[in-house]
Amino acid sequence: MSTLELEVPGWSDHRAGQHLDVRLTAEDGYQAQRSYSIASAPGEPLAITVERLEDGEVSPYLVGEAHEGDRFEVRGPIGGYFVWDADEPERVLLVAGGSGVVPLMAMARHRARAGGEAPMRLLYSSRSLEDVIYREELETLGIDVVHTLTREQPPGWSGYARRIDDELLREVAFPASESPRVYVCGSTRFVDAAADGLVRLGYDPAWVRTERFGATG
């Protein structure tokens, strides 16, 4: 994983949860395009966090090759559905699968910067502790963070150690009676499973906003 700070002339500030599209052009005109969630909060220097995929075409370039001064095209900010503004009063549940944490991190950072008062809780599923992104910073943002490590746990780990299921959600999610807003982001399978689980818990599907990531690299 690598966080890149971008300087985009004419960039209008973004909202937490939005993404941008990156387009790379090679010297012979060959182009490749990918979408990346904006990791920074509105008002912070624009940043994206990119996961390097070994078979990828764009991520190895962004993570391994690109350095300060390099340029590529950017389109955005994009998104009017999977966004959260700090003036919204409801409590917020964030559910992240792997690199799906990136847009949710922007929301958590935004809340911290804006001095948001409504409770925010992050349920973050990762394969192992080494795969957890922003691990230390998450402890400083004034939100509840609940990790579940699905494949490997460090010795003495007392937290959740399995994929999200109905029982885990019941223990971690806010009660449906509190009408929380929910943002779920991760792979399609992760998002669909978590969203269905929340609906079984009594959540109104309209409160559960989803964004499916499809990593191609």
Partner 1 sequence: MGIISRGFRGRRQDGPPDRVPPGQYLTDDFPVLSAGPTPHTSLDEWTFTIQGGAEPVRWTWDEFRTLPSEEITKDIHCVTKWSKLDTGWEGVSVDTLLEAVEHEAEYVVAFCDGGYTTNLPLEDVTGGKAWVAFGYDGEPLEPEHGGPARLLVPHLYFWKSAKWVRGLDLRDEDEPGFWESNGYHLRGDPWQEQRYWGD
Partner 2 sequence: MMERTLDGNAVGGLLLELFGVELTAAPCVCGSCGAREEVARLDVYVDCPGVVVRCRHCGDVMITIVRGRERTWVDLRGTRGLELG
Return residues touching partner 1 (CB under 8 A): 23-27, 29-32, 57, 61, 65-66, 70-73
- Identify residues 127-166 at the interface with partner 2 (CB under 8 A): none
Tokens 């009017």, residue? 80
Pick between residue 23 and residue 127 the one whose CB is nearest to partner 1. 23
Give the closest residue to 201 by CA, choosing from 125, 140, 148, 123: 123
Q: Which residues pair with 210 in a beta bridge?
A: 184
- Give the type of residue at 14: H
Pick between residue 46 and residue 168 the one whose CB is nearest to partner 1. 46
CB 197, CB 164: distance < 8 Å:
yes
The Cβ of residue 172 has, within 10 Å, a number of other Cβ atoms equal to 17
Pick between residue 75 and residue 170 the one whose CB is nearest to partner 2. 75
The binding track of 59-78 with respect to partner 2, each residue x by CB under 8 A or -, is: ----------------xx-x
The backbone torsions φ and ψ at residue 47, rounded to the nearest 5 degrees and listed phi first, read -145, 145
Q: How many residues does the chain have?
A: 217
Q: Which position among 80, 89, 115, 156 is part of the footprint of partner 2 (CB under 8 A)?
A: 80
Indicate whether 16 belongs to the interface with partner 2 (CB under 8 A). no
Number of residues that bind partner 2 (CB under 8 A): 19
Q: How far is the CB of 78 from partner 1 (least distance, A)?
A: 18
